[in-house]
Amino acid sequence: MSSGIGASVKRKEDKRFTTGKGKYTDDVRNDNQAYAAFVRSPHAHARVKGIDTSAAMAMDGVIDVLNGQQLTGDGIGNIICGWAITSKDGSPMNMGAWSALATEKVRYVGDAVAVVIAETQALARIAAEAVDVDYEELPVAASVLTSMKDGAPQIHENAPGNQIYDWELGDEAAADAGLASATHITSLDLTNNRLSPNPMEPRSAVAKYDDAEDHYTLYTTSQNPHVARLVLSAFYNVAPEHKLRVIAPDVGGGFGAKIYIYPEEITCLWASMKTNRSVKWTSDRSEAFITDAHGRDHVTSAKMGFDDAGKIVGFKVDTIANIGAYMSLFSSSVPTYLYAPLLSGQYNIQNIHCNVRTYYTNTVPVDAYRGAGRPEATYLVERMMETAAREMGMDPAELRRRNFIQEFPHQTPVLMQYDAGDFPKILEMAQETADVAGFPARRAEAEARGKLRGIGYSTFIEACGLAPSKAAGSLGAGVGLWESAEVRVNPVGSIEILTGSHSHGQGHETTFAQVVADRFGVPIENVQIVHGDTDKVQFGMGTYGSRSGPVGMSAVAKALDKVEAKVRKIAAHALEASEDDIVIEGGEVKVAGTDKSMAWHEVGLAAYIAHNLPEGMEPGLKESAFFDPVNFSFPSGAFICEVEVDPDTGTTEIVQFTSADDFGTIINPMIVEGQVHGGVTQGIGQALLEQVVYDEDGQLLNGSYMDYTMPRAADVPSFHVQHHETPSPNNPLGVKGCGEAGAIGSPPAVINAITDAIGTNDLAMPATPQAVWRAIQAGAKSVAAE
Amino acid sequence: MYPTKYHKPASIADAVAALNGGDEAMLLSGGQTLLATMKQHLAAPSDLVDIRGIAGLSGISANGNELTIGATTTHAEVAGNVDVRRLCPALADLASGIGDTAVRNMGTIGGSIANNDPAADYPAGLLALNATIVTNTREISADDFFEGLFATALDEGEIITAVRVPAPSKAAYAKFAQPASLFALVGVFVADSGSGVRVAVTGAGEDGVFRHAGLEAALTGSMGDASIDAVDISDGNLISDIHGASDYRAHLISVMAKRAVLSL
Amino acid sequence: MTSINMNVNGKAVSGDVPDETLLSEFLREHLRLTGTHIGCDTSQCGACVVHIDGKAVKSCSTLAVSLEGAEVTTIEGLANGDLHPMQVAFNDNHGLQCGFCTPGMIMSGVDMVKRYKAEGKDLTSDAIRAELEGNICRCTGYHNIVKSIEDAAAKM
């Protein structure tokens, strides 16, 4: 069986994971290991008046108790947000100071004020409870609707009214004019529910300071170890880059939560130097709920106008987003450039305007979670389309079809230039597989069993492959979003690929190797992927935003081009042929039309022995490349969800879920389908089960798996997943990225199906049994009132 | 966890001595609740007295129409036991729905009822079945045993040794699970002893498990789901939390009662 | 501290541990068998599932000192030489992504197949989904985990 592009190659990395031999950060234990536990605020907003560490320090086995004054005194810098957003009045965003250990004020439950370093983890946690912090409690703004009100508690001095920015995209006058010309306007008020990402591996950090070399090593649960090293060095002043090695070994899922550099990693590195011990911190799940960045949390009002033919003539959106107590690394970009540019969806809309205001609240910082901005946009657009279709008495698929973009490239009024796609085709594929034609019969059959059956669509687009560096920079990004790769062909012909992408479940060790095997015809077993270690890989921007395929693999492809060029020269020279006649296939380097050839490994050997290289050629066979995309990639999809609702309890069962995705070129269908399954399930989680809930005092009410509902196996069906490939013209492999599609597209499909089943549009996520039951009751009441 | 001292006595007498010997000693059975509580520093017993080594506390026997279930019998054992299946399949069904497989392999009936979590399943079953809780010092009717939230009639140093369950003529349990924890958001156990109907509700009551007089009267009058429609299920004293307000729970009591009755 | 002896993966092991040591800690920290994972603190996620005397148990909710003389099997000891059919099936069916929940999934999978076979019951895909209520995965959407267990059940 082929192991090249398009083959469902079984994963090379599985053996260590299925045998318990994976090596995750918490599995690392250094000599002289000590353990950290954080003293965290039990209050959502309070002034820190004093910290008494004497009882903790007196405990046997406590090595030190360190606080924020000491941390800032040692010059450790504040945590920053790396994407500058400018308000529509031209003013910069109001970024409040965030110290890894709070000094004067705590701003959310879980904000760290001190750290205990002890001989065991259990002791560190006990001693942390013995640290006595004197708090003066302050009024709390635990939701964005509270914090934006006049007279709300001031969370950061430099953010009057708690506002961070008031930003817009698009032409408001044009959107207003479009709406004024509409013959039908659909209005919606929606909340995009706040989520906790919950990768199954909790975050962990093991920091080790070497005083002889003045050098630090950090093992950490990171999606982007080089970015971690960059900001730890450049902004937090922990150590210069050449004195800091960051290793992200096996990482147990990320979903965005492991992009950011958190207080705990900074503190562990610093504490390691202070105590001259290796310092380890591993979050437990309860701690993860109050420290891992949350996702979503938008409140939106929107209007979409249609003409007589059902064409969209205007779309106006007003969104309020919760940033939490501090601005996390990419937080500012999520409700702006990752959101508003997606409001055109798959539709030809000439007039769009979006206004976004963001506010601080006394809650955990909010940042990117799988999809990041794009699920929020998709949820709005796709609920809008379904609702509008119902209001206008149209088939929701037909309304979508009438508005589909059919020609590419397509410039939207909200920045994006879509490169390729075939939206009618994927909708048709999904409709056929889902047997939409048979739905009325299925609904009738369900009704006979006392169940309400509904069907819902979501046809969506993403902007993935983050991101063209220059474009990102012009929009405020503090970094370039290219990727790097290095291809090392060893003298025996085996190949090592060093990539700045990081795999934490995506299967890069297999898919990246497939790209190499495809190019040179070498066995996939002879290709090794190296990633996740700043000492091994020169640089990289990491894995998020569905970028490993379109950007990371493209860098590999570019480096492979260079290797291939050199191989051709070496072989042409050795075989006394023209470079143009050299063919590389099946592990051989041949001269076309002759029986002259070299085995692949002979070329490798020739390159290193260097006895017979072309005049002037350097020995060796190793090339590197940086790939900076010229555009985003635009995966698209059509999802159809079918549900049955039990009207007695409000319970929703997803009985059928069909997807048709266009990810461009697919490297490994098995892995891509797995990404869709997982993404859709997270979207179903958002739609039906998950929501972080704070009370008005800023106390988290569901901070464990006893109360925060994670999707379980019985909550989801088996999925019908299919693909249509329109390759992206903007990268060498034609890939578009597949990591986020499921999470982006599925929530509106689920909610549209439920609202279809129960006959009312007034339903918020998560559509818990209670929420659905109430919506049914309210619908029944309104019918009775009529 | 805070440090603790572990004891594994071989007799009730030794267990009582160990319980009385520690400042804040606690009994340990399956540990499926207690150890999680200790991990979160919400409990810090000075001593843990593991009663699983005491002969005679584990196992199930049938004597005529009565089941005797040892205190340290696991949920999995109750769920799979032939005598329980024969005499009171509803109780086996209830046990098979507690927690998950791994929890059922460790968690015990004695531990569950001693904890009397307001959302636990067993309290509803034992209360509706009019079971008797046997301790090292006395026998306590289920009506007297379950006193409120996490509260029971057990005295200091008193140890549950077994539960005696008279076989009903028919019984059924219907549970609507809280989606995260899989505990009962509302669980209704209906038991017809032949001489009367008892209905116990778990998951919903602010004071823990309770019998529902209105449902009992209606079903004693006429065993059928139609009887339930006529019963006013008040939401007074019902729990309201993020998973369900009291009116929703009241509604679910009615729905689960009907489902239990329909599966009798 | 208590001295304990048990049999882990076919080998006699012993150790002096604080009484409050959980089996998961004993495996990970004392025996350095780090394939048993800790994904939550309320015994829901199932990443820590091992077999004690042939039954699936959450090692994070069991005291090591209570297991004197017990037979414990962890993910590292599941196979005798070659991979266990369940391990093969997870690879064949792409039943894992990040791998963190995988040891618990495999141990629970083996347990359910054995129980169903012993009871002569058919382990349908619906039954597998119900049986997985104590194991949480955030990556796979369960689709391929269910397939993996079905596949292994046919081969075990």
What's the token pair of residue A437? 């034609």
Q: What share of chain A in percent tops pLDDT 70?
A: 99
Beta strand pairing call for A298-306 and A312-324: antiparallel
The total number of structural domains in chain B stands at: 3
pLDDT (average), residues A41-70: 98
Beta-carbon separation of A681 and C83 below 8 A: no
What's the token pair of residue C5? 């002896």
| Residues of C in Cβ contact (< 8 Å) with A671 | 94
Beta-carbon separation of C102 and A122 below 8 A: no
Check whether residue B32 and residue B74 sit in a common domain: no
Check whether residue C71 and residue C103 sit in a common domain: no
Nearest in space to C23 (alpha carbons), one of C55, C47, C54, C58: C58
- The closest CB to that of B35, out of C2, C46, C61, belongs to C61
- H or E stretch including A316? strand A312-324
What integer pLDDT is reported at residue C81 of this predicted model? Answer: 84
Nearest in space to A20 (alpha carbons), one of C54, C80, C36: C36
Q: What is the DSSP string of C38-85?
A: ---SSS-S-TTEEEETTEEEEGGGSBGGGGTT-EEE-GGGSSSSSPPH
3 state DSSP class of B191: strand
List alpha helices for A31-136, DSSP H. Answer: 54-57, 68-73, 121-130
What integer pLDDT is reported at residue C88 of this predicted model? Answer: 98
What integer pLDDT is reported at residue A295 of this predicted model? Answer: 98
What integer pLDDT is reported at residue A2 of this predicted model? Answer: 81
Cβ–Cβ under 8 Å, residues B186 and B175? yes
Check whether residue B66 and residue B154 sit in a common domain: yes
Q: Which residues in chain C land under pLDDT 70? A: none
pLDDT (average), residues A572-594: 95
Specify which residues A136 forms β-bridges with. Answer: A47
| Residues of B in Cβ contact (< 8 Å) with A284 | 39
Nearest in space to B14 (alpha carbons), one of B70, B44, B55, B68: B55
**Single-letter amino acid code for the residue at B199:** V
- The closest CB to that of C57, out of B38, B102, B180, belongs to B102
pLDDT, one tens digit per residue, over A457-484 is: 999 999 998 889 999 999 999 989 999 9
Check whether residue C90 and residue C134 sit in a common domain: yes
B179 assigned to some structural domain: yes
Beta-carbon separation of C57 and B105 below 8 A: yes
pLDDT, one tens digit per residue, over A331-347 is: 999 999 999 999 999 99
Range of the domain at B31: 5-48
B84 assigned to some structural domain: yes
Cβ–Cβ under 8 Å, residues A431 and A659? no
Cβ–Cβ under 8 Å, residues B257 and B211? no
Check whether residue C97 and residue C40 sit in a common domain: no
Q: How far is CA A723 from CA A120, A263, A727, in A?
A: 51, 41, 12
B53 assigned to some structural domain: no
The torsion angles phi and psi of A430, rounded to 5 degrees, stand at -65, -40
B256 assigned to some structural domain: yes
Alpha carbon distance C106, A20 (integer Å): 10
Specify which residues B133 forms β-bridges with. Answer: B140, B163
Check whether residue B73 and residue B147 sit in a common domain: yes
B70 assigned to some structural domain: yes
Nearest in space to A360 (alpha carbons), one of A142, A167, A194: A142
Which residues lie closer than 8 Å to B81 by C-beta, 6 or more apart?
B60, B92
Of C77, C102, C134, the one marking the end of a domain is C77
Q: Is A707 on the interface with C (CB under 8 A)?
A: no
What's the token pair of residue A507? 């299967």
Which residue do the tokens 């449902």 mark?
B215
B54 assigned to some structural domain: no
Catalogue the long-range contacts made by B232-240 (C-beta closer than 8 Å, 24 or more residues apart): B237/B205, B237/B206, B237/B207, B238/B204, B238/B205, B238/B206, B239/B118, B239/B203, B239/B204, B239/B205, B239/B206
Cβ–Cβ under 8 Å, residues C49 and C104? yes
Interface chains of chain C (3 or more CB pairs under 8 Å):
A, B
Taking the domains of chain A in order of start, what are their residue ranges? 14-138+201-252+258-291, 368-377+393-466+633-785, 482-627
What's the token pair of residue C13? 């092991």
Q: Tell me what percent of chain B is helix, strand and coil, each rounded to the nearest 5.
A: 35, 25, 40
Give the number of beta-carbon pairs within 8 Å between B and C: 84
3 state DSSP class of A410: strand
Alpha carbon distance A734, A11 (integer Å): 22
The total number of structural domains in chain C stands at: 2
The reply to whether omega before A467 is within 30° of 0 (cis) is: yes
Beta-carbon separation of B35 and C22 below 8 A: yes
Cβ–Cβ under 8 Å, residues A553 and A540? no
Question: How big is the CA angle at A418 (ends A415 and A422), to the nearest 5 degrees?
Answer: 150
Q: Is A88 on the interface with C (CB under 8 A)?
A: no
CATH classification (class only), A14-138+201-252+258-291 = alpha beta
3 state DSSP class of A301: strand
Which residues lie closer than 8 Å to B189 by C-beta, 6 or more apart?
B90, B94, B124, B125, B127, B128, B129, B171, B172, B173, B199, B200, B201, B202, B260
| Residues of B in Cβ contact (< 8 Å) with A649 | 176, 252, 255
Query: Which listed CATH number (3.40.920.10, 1.10.3720.10, 3.30.365.10, 3.20.20.70) goes with A482-627?
Result: 3.30.365.10
Helix axes A396-403, A423-433, angle to 10 degrees: 160
Q: Is A286 on the interface with C (CB under 8 A)?
A: yes
Which CATH number does the domain housing residue C127 bear? 1.10.150.120
Range of the domain at C17: 2-77
Q: Exposure pattern of A112-136 as b/e (b: 16+ CB <10 Å)?
A: bbbbbbbbebbbbbbbbebbebebe
pLDDT, one tens digit per residue, over A164-180 is: 999 999 999 999 999 99
3 state DSSP class of B212: coil
Alpha carbon A542 to its chain's center: 11
What integer pLDDT is reported at residue A781 of this predicted model? Answer: 75
Q: pLDDT-derived band of residue A1, with 50, 70 and 90 as boundaries?
A: low
Which CATH number does the domain housing residue B124 bear? 3.30.465.10
Give the number of beta-carbon pairs within 8 Å between A and C: 183
- The closest CB to that of B102, out of C56, C65, C66, belongs to C56
Alpha carbon distance B55, B10 (integer Å): 7
B224 assigned to some structural domain: yes
Beta-carbon separation of A713 and C35 below 8 A: no
Q: Tell me what percent of chain C is helix, strand and coil, each rounded to the nearest 5.
A: 45, 15, 40
Of B131, B166, B201, the one marking the end of a domain is B166
B29 assigned to some structural domain: yes
Check whether residue B69 and residue B160 sit in a common domain: yes
Q: Which residues in chain B land under pLDDT 70? A: none
**How far apart are the CA of A106 and the nearest CA of chain C, in angstroms?**
25
Measured over the CA atoms of residue B218, residue B221, residue B224 and residue B227, the dihedral's sign is negative
What integer pLDDT is reported at residue A786 of this predicted model? Answer: 60
Beta strand pairing call for C55-58 and C49-52: antiparallel
Q: pLDDT-derived band of residue A48, with 50, 70 and 90 as boundaries?
A: very high
| Residues of A in Cβ contact (< 8 Å) with C109 | none
Question: How big is the CA angle at A185 (ends A182 and A189), to the nearest 5 degrees?
Answer: 150
pLDDT, one tens digit per residue, over A374-393 is: 999 999 999 999 999 999 99
Cβ–Cβ under 8 Å, residues A418 and A405? yes
Helix axes C143-155, A669-684, angle to 10 degrees: 120
Check whether residue B121 and residue B65 sit in a common domain: yes
Is ipTM > 0.95 here? yes
| Residues of B in Cβ contact (< 8 Å) with C109 | none
Which residues lie closer than 8 Å to A696 by C-beta, 6 or more apart?
A140, A142, A143, A146
Measured over the CA atoms of residue A502, residue A507, residue A509 and residue A513, the dihedral's sign is negative
List alpha helices for A80-120, DSSP H. Answer: none
pLDDT, one tens digit per residue, over A673-684 is: 999 999 999 999
**How far apart are the CA of A151 and the nearest CA of chain C, in angstroms?**
39
Same fold, A14-138+201-252+258-291 and A482-627: no
pLDDT (average), residues A110-120: 98
Interface chains of chain A (3 or more CB pairs under 8 Å):
B, C
Residue B127: how many other CB atoms lie within 10 Å: 26
| CATH code for the structural domain at A368-377+393-466+633-785 | 3.30.365.10
Beta strand pairing call for B132-135 and B139-141: antiparallel
Alpha carbon distance B52, A401 (integer Å): 66
Q: How far is CA A411 from CA A349, A357, A406, A407, A422, in A?
A: 10, 25, 12, 10, 16
| Residues of A in Cβ contact (< 8 Å) with C51 | none
Which residues lie closer than 8 Å to C52 by C-beta, 6 or more apart?
B105, C23, C62, C67, C70, C71, C72
Beta-carbon separation of B52 and C66 below 8 A: yes
Alpha carbon distance B29, C77 (integer Å): 28
What integer pLDDT is reported at residue A785 of this predicted model? Answer: 65
Cβ–Cβ under 8 Å, residues A515 and A529? no
Q: How far is CA A291 from CA A202, A365, A415, in A?
A: 11, 8, 34
**Single-letter amino acid code for the residue at A38:** F
Q: pLDDT-derived band of residue A191, with 50, 70 and 90 as boundaries?
A: very high
**How far apart are the CA of B39 and the nearest CA of chain A, in angstroms?**
9
Beta strand pairing call for C71-73 and B25-28: unpaired
Alpha carbon distance C108, A665 (integer Å): 36
Helix axes A374-392, A741-758, angle to 10 degrees: 30
Q: What's chain A's average pLDDT?
A: 97
A57: which DSSP letter? H
Of C77, C94, C129, the one marking the end of a domain is C77
Cβ–Cβ under 8 Å, residues A202 and A254? no
Q: What's chain B's average pLDDT?
A: 97
Helix axes A769-785, A741-758, angle to 10 degrees: 40
